[in-house]
Structure 1
């Protein structure tokens, strides 16, 4: 049995993406026959021990935010292989703002995990041989989930409100639409700080087409996905958002910002991209979706074609490849 310490910077009870990934990976690794301990990146290396012994493998989510834990484990467990999973902020922000820590984490790793197909182009070539792409998986919507309501054309935005997500772009895009438009934006997610909460409340006060419902449990998010006609993913940077996987598996068409993290999941030929932070382009896409059912059905066929990439079996097999790359046998 392979014993794995899985390090995440997101604390217990958090609904942040890093915690969701850690929880899902722990389950999939246990299904592979591994024993897994989930450890916070603020805990010391001794927390990674299982039965008082070093783990057989350390898997760390986030090269920068888990940097101190990665260094501590390398010092405490010199012979234990290490895999580091790269997030969007790692690749597209911290690689440039904190290059020494970022590169130290990557250099320490025996294997690197990327979450979308274009990661290789955005990290130094010397690390390409260590990189393994593992797409995040999602489950189908439950049978009997409610479908779209009549009257409104509801568009869903799901994810924490923060700068990297350009979270209010969809709200801005539905301001001052023609009176005949049925477009409404439903936003789900907690906030990075109180300023984001204030901005969301201010937007609701001035924009009758926008509602922010806050940080909801995942089962409620899935019900909103079943009810929505379209999803908007407006991020400025992404490492491979699980919400894209969920949309594809649910057959929910997406309008997505044209960034590497979205192209690496939806494909280069996806027809639903818009330029980053381009409110007018997104507005035009939303109005086209409302007016042209054939456009939306085309997007639906494209996301459904991508869905097999995000099956739990595929993610489990990807994790098994990472374990093998670290010289371990299941």
Structure 2
């Protein structure tokens, strides 16, 4: 398994996904080695994350093992705004036996490049073991942002929206995420120091981040692009409603008619949605809770395990060693 994550215990999305998939494939009887690039050996198959960053590994593996299957997982920075704009080489896609996307709208992006490749696409939604319930804060109405500070995440949009809320609102934003972009980290630090409605907690260990999510009233996802955010799966598994930008990577998971979406980069629209959610206007909080609860089976770990088992069976890999 090739992943562009900087190290095997990386908290970045690719690293988290690679470790979960390696464990899952291991539970299906396969031996998996995670690496950043192709490593020669007697391999049965390749699973590669990120078509752009793992292109060299895909080419090398295809050359060394021309009869072995390649599964290429397309990330958000591969798919959006489109594969041509992100620099994905169509020839690399054609080397893949199967293409994995994390939500159903990803298939459209592949089809736009090559309609024949769409038949190779399989949707595998990321799963999560639900964390233990946690008591909600009673002193405030807490929502959370779980996003590293990178421009594509638009990580300070929730802080800007919270600043537009009326004094009567009790809403606060707790934000956990590593300061990967120094300029954004400096801004988050300043905003956290002066705003009573925004608290940047920095990077948290995964169990602590999930505990923060479990105690919150809602997850706020402000990304400009996502391939199918694992944090949405985490919220659904935890029973926490989602307020998300209206991007294909999120509506592909939540549904095209999901009533908890707002336009990309629009703090006023997000502030309006946050206030409506806090006040439960027209039963919004109840509606979002019921909608997300209905999606919970989609992120069950057994569903993801079955999807991978079916994919491996298609490739003749259902029995390890074959």
CA contact (8 A) 1:45 1:76 kept: no
Matches within 5 A, 1:134-283: 134-142=124-132, 145-283=133-271
Matched, 1:7 2:2: yes
User: Could you say which residue in structure 2 is the equivalent of 1:126?
Assistant: 116
Of 18, 30, 36, the residue aligned with 2:32 is 36
Name the TM-score, length of structure 2 as normaliser. Answer: 0.94
CA drift at 1:94: 6.7
User: Could you say which residue in structure 2 is the equivalent of 1:23?
Assistant: 19
Name the TM-score, length of structure 1 as normaliser. Answer: 0.91
Deviation per residue, 1:114-142 (Å, 9 max, x gap) = 10011111223221110000000011222
Paired with 2:53 and 2:81, the residues of 1 have a C-alpha distance of 12
Specify every segment of 5 or more residues in structure 2 that has no aligned partner in the other structure, as ranges. none
User: Could you say which residue in structure 1 is the equivalent of 2:96?
Assistant: 109
CA contact (8 A) 1:154 1:184 kept: yes
User: Could you say which residue in structure 2 is the equivalent of 1:318?
Assistant: 307
User: Could you say which residue in structure 2 is the equivalent of 1:45?
Assistant: 39
User: Could you say which residue in structure 1 is the equivalent of 2:293?
Assistant: 304
Q: 1:93 to 1:260 in 2, by over 3 A?
A: closer
Report the aligned-residue RMSD: 1.5
User: Could you say which residue in structure 2 is the equivalent of 1:78?
Assistant: 66
Deviation per residue, 1:224-274 (Å, 9 max, x gap) = 012111110111111111110111111101111101110111112211011
CA drift at 1:207: 2.0
Between Structure 1 and Structure 2, how many residues are aligned? 314
Paired with 2:2 and 2:219, the residues of 1 have a C-alpha distance of 31
CA contact (8 A) 2:77 2:86 kept: no
Paired with 2:284 and 2:86, the residues of 1 have a C-alpha distance of 42
Q: Moved runs in structure 1, 4+ residues, more than 3 A?
A: none
Paired with 1:238 and 1:308, the residues of 2 have a C-alpha distance of 21
User: Could you say which residue in structure 2 is the equivalent of 1:3?
Assistant: none
Deviation per residue, 1:194-215 (Å, 9 max, x gap) = 1121121122133221111111
CA contact (8 A) 2:102 2:227 kept: yes
CA drift at 1:278: 1.2
Of stretches 23-32 and 320-329 in structure 1, the one that deviates more from structure 2 is 320-329
Matched, 1:92 2:80: yes
